Amino acid sequence: MIAATPEKSRLSTLPPRNVNGGPAGNGSIEDHASRSRLKAAKLWVLERAERAGLIRVARDSSWRQKRLLILGYHGISLTDEHEWCPELYIRPETLRARFQHMRDNGYQVLPLREAVERLRAGTLPPRSVALTFDDGTRDFLVAGVPLLREFGFPATVYVTTYYSAKEVPVFRMACRYLLWVGRGTQICGEGLTADCQPIELHTPEQRDAAVDAIEARRGEIAGGVDDELATLRLLASRVGVDFDRFLAERRQQIMSPAEGRSLPRDLVDVQLHTHRHKVPFRKASFDREIEDNRRVLAAFRPDEQLDAFCYPNGLTDVRFLPWLKEHSIRTGVTCEAGLATATTDPLLLPRLVDSSTLSRLEFEAWLSGVGSLLPMRRGRRPKSIEE
């Protein structure tokens, strides 16, 4: 999610690799077509597996009991975010239906810490699931926490902290959203980009290029939060968004320290996600990210045991593992789809990243374990807040 001047991360060619690694762009027409064909083939298989009762059999098997499904969520849509970025956002009613299905079908939702300990000890209950939420955006507090309360489900939220005390929108994420609102148009670039040329917003590729150009201008002038707000206000006016209302509704913002303190301790475990939402490949910079993140979180959750980590952007590298251990971090979750077993490295725990793009049947197949047995197309991951 978060840095005023983010360091570009690169994915190491060394294992362990990030299953969903690769460019964060929108992909070619051929790429979209390939994904669509694979999804259609999976659904065809799953529909027949469901009719034959195989999903139920897998769900109740001893094989599934030895495995932990960790569900990962990013944003919960409060208005139209699921239309803008379906790979990151899920509608509250969809999330509620997911929770209802888990409760109705006897899935055991455990705190992640307990789940990992019991996984390694071989004492997991049947149909074990753990819930995680990335970034700590305010929609988690507004829409996620009420659902956790309703169902009594525990969850871990990984909070990136650079923007927390500032209580302003995360610049790049807000910029991307506003450009999407202006899709299909051309806007004036004066005051937004260095060359001041008109900005085309007709295609996803054009909007991605516009984000980069706006960020590049900001980098040249080395502006701070005030410049970010001024730039977002100007962009909002160009695409017809009421920016004062945008700010008042706390759109695209991280939970404030006070909001972090208000999270129910019996349900929500607050954990590490780096301060500026990046994983530097220089150890000193990496250490600073963890230390700054831990310092801020400890200030508003003073009794929290901060020893769990979520890799920003899902980027993993073998170099990070000893560095995390030096910081007494015991678990790390990735964006690699899969089920964790007793032999899984606890610093490289796979997760299913759930979103609006996942159908009801696909979700239920993953809960049962069947989803993990089907081929997965590698090479693309959801864009995160700092991409």
DSSP state of 225: H
Name which of 370, 356, 369, 291 is nearest 323 in CA terms: 291
Identify the pLDDT of residue 377. Answer: 59
Name which of 387, 10, 315 is nearest 171 in CA terms: 387
* CA dist., res. 287 & res. 324, Å (int): 9
Question: pLDDT-based confidence at 14, cuts 50/70/90?
Answer: very low
Identify the pLDDT of residue 222. Answer: 75
Identify the pLDDT of residue 10. Answer: 28
* CA dist., res. 320 & res. 16, Å (int): 10
Q: Before 15, cis peptide (omega within 30)?
A: no
Identify the pLDDT of residue 3. Answer: 37
Name which of 325, 331, 290 is nearest 308 in CA terms: 331
* CA dist., res. 329 & res. 131, Å (int): 19
**Per-residue tokens: 217:** 């201008």
pLDDT in tens, 149-186: 999 999 999 999 999 989 999 999 999 999 999 999 99
DSSP per residue over 111-139, as a string?
Answer: -HHHHHHHHHHT-PPTTEEEEEEEETBHH
Identify the pLDDT of residue 31. Answer: 60
Beta bridge partners of 155: 268
- Name the pairing type of β-strands 199-200 and 186-187: antiparallel
pLDDT in tens, 59-70: 999 999 999 999
Cα distances (Å, whole numbers) of residue 63 to 124, 216, 297, 340, 342:
11, 51, 38, 12, 12
Range with lowest mean pLDDT among 27-36, 68-77, 128-137: 27-36
Q: Does residue 135 register a pLDDT over 60?
A: yes
More confident residue, 18 or 217: 217
> Using only C-alpha atoms, what is the Rg of the chain?
21
* Helix-helix angle 225-239:171-181, to 10 degrees: 10
pTM beyond 0.85, yes or no: yes
Over the chain, what is the mean pLDDT? Answer: 89
pLDDT in tens, 303-362: 889 999 999 999 999 999 999 999 999 999 999 999 999 999 999 999 999 999 999 999
Identify the pLDDT of residue 90. Answer: 97
Q: Which residue has the tokens 């239309």?
A: 83
Range with lowest mean pLDDT among 259-263, 319-323, 366-370, 382-386: 382-386
List the alpha helices (DSSP H) in the chain: 29-51, 54-59, 62-65, 81-84, 92-104, 112-121, 138-139, 145-151, 171-181, 204-221, 225-239, 243-248, 257-262, 283-300, 320-326, 360-368
Cα distances (Å, whole numbers) of residue 90 to 93, 98, 119, 342:
8, 11, 28, 30
More confident residue, 28 or 224: 224
